[in-house]
Chain A
Amino acid sequence: MIERLVRSPVGLVSLAFLLGLCLLAAFAPWLAPNDPMELSLADRFAGRSAKYPLGADHLGRCVLSRLLWGARPSLGAAALVGALTAVLGFVIGATAGYARGRIDEALMRTVDFVLAFPTLLFAFAIVGFLGPGLDNAVIAIVAVHWAHHARTVRALTLTVGMQEYISAARLLALRSIAVLLRHMLPNVAPVVVVVTTLDAGWILLQLSAFSFLGLGVQAPTPEWGMMVFEARTHFRTNPTLMIYPGTAIFATVVALNLLGDALSGASEEVAQSQA
């Protein structure tokens, strides 16, 4: 799959962009020219300068530093949500597909119930009951999103479960957990990776919307959605304050979606060549 991805220039560029972004986020403490939280009322709305490469915001905080630091909660939370949904979706989907019968029925009716709702509103409501905050926003998005993954994984598990080596493993009286992890997981994992990548952009958008609405990251922590929120009252006079964080979200989501497309294209090619 990786060799095929390398042959897709769009996927490769997206991957490079995202890796670069992760590096920027990881090294934010060393790269940022200023403290992202430091107020300097004398420098309110300062233009671009050597001290503030992208200017300063309404409280005189360095925009570039806030963008770099802001990448951490944005990317970190999105990665966390992606990983948690993938794991939860795999565990529940694979259990349902492998166990079949009543367990399958019960789990899939739960999935139907969760999917019957508009995802985002349901997530808002969960934050409503738990209270605003990034941790609760992560819980809420995972709580509504795992069902999509579970359904995909279950369908896949049903197909893989018909293969002879799974019957062989069952005949050898291997424990279910061992069959699932040793034999099922390696076959399901590539699809889970593709689906998770395709989802990651959506997740990042939802998280930024949560922060924008005041339901996710709380001020004064820098985060991209939060930065758009803080810039909103000044956008008539200082539109650039909003352009920077918005562009950051937009570019990251485009890169994630393109990478997801390239990955799913590559995995389809692999599937076809194996068939």
Chain B
Amino acid sequence: MRQVTRRLILAPLILWATSTLSFLLLSLAPGGLESSLLHGLGLQPTPETIASLRSQFGLDRPLLERYGEWLVSALRLEFGRSYITGEPIGADFARLMPATVELAAAALALSLAVSIPVGMVAGMRVGGSLDLASRLLAIGVTALPGFWLGYLLMYGFSVWLDLLPLSGRGSWAHLVLPAVTLAAGQTALFARLLRNSVVGELRQPYVRFARARGLRRRHLFGRHVLRNAGLPLWSALGVAVGGLLSGAVVVETVFAWPGMGRYFLSAILTRDLPVVQAYVCCVAAIVVATNLIADIVHAALDPRIVTQAAP
């Protein structure tokens, strides 16, 4: 369990470092409030408006006092107020979070549903037609800009075939194209990972023994090989969640999906620094938590990790 314990100790440290770093970046960013006025609200900042806004957002108080306040509000998931709307950021996040979670979860489920059978079969028949086809597809998919793939799918399925809605969020049909776009890269990655892992697993002595014993193929693959070969997927899951959240910024923009990614992007473009700061901390918390869960599950599934000494 040393690996997991180490992670447990490290997790709050990472979160604290992130919140401090993003606080410092916000406080030290050149002319944050001024450029936010200019880009976000189209106002020409005068010394008076800046001074009044600075006191309104408490920016005229000492750095340490603001830092303490920021830490407390971040712990309460409040994160202060937006420069642009003046609304509390935590409330905005709570409103937008379900849309992003829905999109990311759908993409993750889709990529697992496709990559597990493909990776298994490709690994069982190395050099077979599915192996070659999935390899070619992976080369193609990993080279596709996500935003471009989104528009291509939109053109094909919404404009040309007129099967699915163009953009926005609503019915299940609205979810299909954004989820496919977001899942594409991840699916290719998972399938290759699983394929290589199956190839390695099939060389293990226990597989030969099970075959010699006359174990049925389905039983061998379903119970033994997949269980072991699937382990690297667990470790990849933590990274995948981060990738999905990054991809969501692009996909939500393309499909006008009302989620956190689009909110984050508009905050960057309007230089709404408190929102950027809050988003960074939120994502850090999500990623740290997923990694932790993935590690614990991994350790539970693979006793070798527990007995091995941590490096």
Chain A residues in contact with chain B, CB under 8 A? 113, 116-122, 124-125, 127-132, 201, 205, 208-209, 212-215, 225, 228-229, 232, 235-236, 239, 242, 246, 249-250, 253-254, 257-258
Contacts and interface: CB of A to CB of B under 8 A. Distances in A.
Nearest to B275: A128
Contact of A212 (B17, B145, B287): B145
A117 B143 contact: no
A127 B264 CA distance: 12
A132 B155 contact: no
A130 B22 CA distance: 12
Contact of A246 (B145, B159, B245): B145
B32 to A, nearest CB: 8
Interface in B150-196: 151-152, 154-155, 159
A208 B276 contact: no
A131 B249 contact: no
A215 B268 contact: yes
B83 to A, nearest CB: 12
B145 A117 contact: no
Contacts of A113: 14, 17
B93 to A, nearest CB: 15
Contact of B273 (A124, A129, A239, A254): A129
B265 interface: yes
A257 B148 contact: no
B139 A257 contact: yes
Contacts of B291: 116
A118 B288 contact: no
A118 B249 contact: no
Nearest to B35: A131
Contact of B246 (A121, A215, A225, A249): A121
Contacts of A130: 29
B250 A212 contact: yes
Contacts of A125: 22, 268, 276, 279-280
23 contacts: A116-B14, A116-B284, A116-B288, A117-B284, A119-B242, A121-B245, A121-B246, A121-B249, A125-B268, A128-B264, A128-B267, A128-B271, A129-B276, A131-B35, A209-B145, A212-B250, A213-B249, A232-B151, A236-B159, A246-B145, A249-B145, A253-B143, A253-B145
A228 B246 CA distance: 19
Contacts of B250: 209, 212-213
Contact of A132 (B247, B268, B287): B268
A119 B267 CA distance: 19
B243 to A, nearest CB: 6
A114 to B, nearest CB: 11
Nearest to B159: A236
Contacts of A209: 145-147, 250
Nearest to A122: B280
Given A125-B276, A228-B145, 15 more contacts: A116-B291, A118-B241, A118-B283, A118-B287, A119-B246, A127-B268, A131-B35, A131-B271, A132-B268, A209-B147, A212-B145, A213-B147, A214-B269, A253-B142, A258-B139
A213 B247 CA distance: 12
Interface string B280-305: 10011001100100000000000000
A124 B152 CA distance: 24
Contact of B143 (A129, A201, A235, A242): A201
A160 to B, nearest CB: 20
B143, B267, B269, B276 — which one has the most chain A CB atoms within 10 A of its CB?
Answer: B143
A253 B148 CA distance: 13
Given A118-B287, A205-B143, A257-B143, A124 B267 contact: no
Nearest to A239: B155
B253 interface: yes
Given A116-B288, A121-B242, A124-B246, A236 B143 contact: no
A124 B243 CA distance: 13
B143 A254 contact: yes
B116 to A, nearest CB: 23
B148 A228 contact: yes
Contact of B269 (A122, A132, A212, A232): A132
A60 B289 CA distance: 50
B230 to A, nearest CB: 23
A126 B87 CA distance: 23
Contacts of B128: none
A205 B142 CA distance: 9
For the complex of A and B, the 4 pairs showing the least CB-CB separation, nearest first, are A118-B242, A120-B246, A128-B276, A253-B143
B206 to A, nearest CB: 29
A250 B288 CA distance: 33
B252 to A, nearest CB: 11
Given A201-B143, A235-B151, A236-B155, A118 B26 contact: no
